[in-house]
Amino acid sequence: MKTTIFSLIIILFLGLNTAFTSDKDKEVKIKTSAICEMCKARLERNLGLSKGVKESSLNLDNKVITVKYNPDKTTPEAIKATIINTGYDADTQLANQKAHDKLPSCCRKTAAPH
């Protein structure tokens, strides 16, 4: 019984630890085809939930997303692949057409700026 509680507490604190170690984290900036707040939320969430990504933040003014990641777990290529598969361009690589067409009309590349 007690071991269950202890192991839960240990898991909790391990979780805390992994969250605070940021010494070897790297940063990459990628230009995307995001348009609006919805795009921002979608991209940041999908990246945030992908392997090895610590933080991501999209600047809607210049459409550049800044991604903090653990180089042991992921690569800039994998991060770009996530962006493409979410339906957006990543630097020179074009968005996955299928994913792009699934986006709401306001988030597609054809949408008027708003």
Backbone φ/ψ region at 92: left (φ over 0), alpha (ψ -120 to 50), beta: alpha
Binders of another protein among 85-114, rule CB under 8 A?
104
CB of 112 to another protein, least distance (A): 18
Question: What is residue 93's DSSP assignment?
Answer: B
Contact status, residue 34 vs residue 65, Cβ threshold 8 Å: yes
Question: What is residue 103's DSSP assignment?
Answer: S
Q: Which stretch binds another protein (CB under 8 A): 26-34, 40-48, 69-77, 89-97?
A: 40-48
Among 21, 22, 27, 48, binds another protein (CB under 8 A): 48
CB of 76 to another protein, least distance (A): 19
Q: Which stretch binds another protein (CB under 8 A): 23-31, 37-45, 70-78, 90-98?
A: 37-45
Contact flag: residue 71 with another protein (CB under 8 A): no
Cβ burial, residue 90 (10 Å; 0-12/13-18/19+): buried
Residues forming contacts to another protein in the complex (CB under 8 A) are 1, 4-5, 8-9, 11-12, 15-16, 19, 41, 44-46, 48-50, 54-55, 104
